[in-house]
Amino acid sequence: MSEKVSNIFTKVLACIIDVIFIVFVLCFSKLNIISKIITIFVVSIFNIYLMPRIIKKINVEIEKTKLEELQYLGPSPKFEIIYNIAFLITIYCMTIYYMLGYYNNKISFFSPLGIYILIFVVMIIIDSLYGPQLQVNKFKNNTTFIMEKSDRTGVSILGSRVGSYKDGIVLGDYVFSKEHILYAKEVKEDFTITLTDNREIVIREKMAKKYFRNVLIIDK
């Protein structure tokens, strides 16, 4: 699916969900009219701004699963897909739970919703132990991708969000083909990968640097 088609699909999906939630709130919600309006507004904002990002992330992970001979130190693309889908479902389940008037009741850890939330929290903790995401700084004449050190120790506990496949390397949500890699070098604490089109990758996370020392030919 092309990016343009994906964007159109996401916008259409957001509109459909908005209509469903508006009808659901007006017909079944026990909230007062002001709370109904606020709920509809919040869900619409989520659908417009957050849902497209989550769906884009899911698409990225799906594309990773298609890479030939993928070796990835970060969380499995399948785990990330489940994690992001679970996030979407959690948001909507909590919204429905609130709209139906159950917000005054305590959520038991042994209830279906309580167990689901607990599992999702555990997934968040696991995902956070894989180190920092790749930051993107776009300037007028160049683009710099930066992977900073992990908090405190500088080393990720479970792994790092980097990897390689048959025809290139993977950093976070980005895939770089070998034909776009000009050279790699290490200067002090920075491992730098120079790409075509005035792009550069700067890696400071220790596990990621160690991995690319073995994967790439380093320019001395």
Question: Among 101, 128, 155, where does a domain finish?
Answer: 128
- How far apart, in whole angstroms, are the C-alpha atoms of residue 108 and residue 38? 26
Give 92's pLDDT tier (boundaries 50, 70, 90). confident
pLDDT above 90 as % of the chain? 24
The whole-number pLDDT of residue 28 equals 75
More confident residue, 182 or 16: 182
**DSSP one-letter code for 159:** -
**Structural domain containing residue 63:** 3-128
Is 118 found in the same domain as 37? Answer: yes
The whole-number pLDDT of residue 126 equals 81
Structural domains of the chain, count: 2
Is 140 found in the same domain as 116? Answer: no
Strand ranges (DSSP E) for the chain? 71-72, 135-138, 143-147, 162-165, 168-171, 174-177, 181-187, 190-195, 199-203
In a domain, 220, yes or no: no
Is 142 found in the same domain as 113? Answer: no
3-state secondary structure of 137: strand
Is 15 found in the same domain as 97? Answer: yes
Token code pair at residue 164:
């390689």
Chain length of the chain: 220
Q: Which helix (H) or strand (E) holds 212?
A: helix 206-215
Give the residue among 166, 167, 171 at the shortest CA–CA distance from 199: 171
The whole-number pLDDT of residue 34 equals 81
In a domain, 152, yes or no: yes
In a domain, 166, yes or no: yes
Q: Which helix (H) or strand (E) holds 133?
A: none
Identify any residues that bridge with 145 across adjacent strands, giving them in sequence order: 136, 201
The whole-number pLDDT of residue 120 equals 74
Interval 42-71 mean pLDDT: 85
Token code pair at residue 107:
């959520």
- How far apart, in whole angstroms, are the C-alpha atoms of residue 47 and residue 18? 7
Is 77 found in the same domain as 18? Answer: yes
The whole-number pLDDT of residue 119 equals 76
Q: Is 77 within 8 Å of 190 (Cβ atoms)?
A: no
Least confident of 35-49, 123-137, 156-170: 35-49
- How far apart, in whole angstroms, are the C-alpha atoms of residue 80 and residue 5? 22
Q: What global pTM score does this model have?
A: 0.74
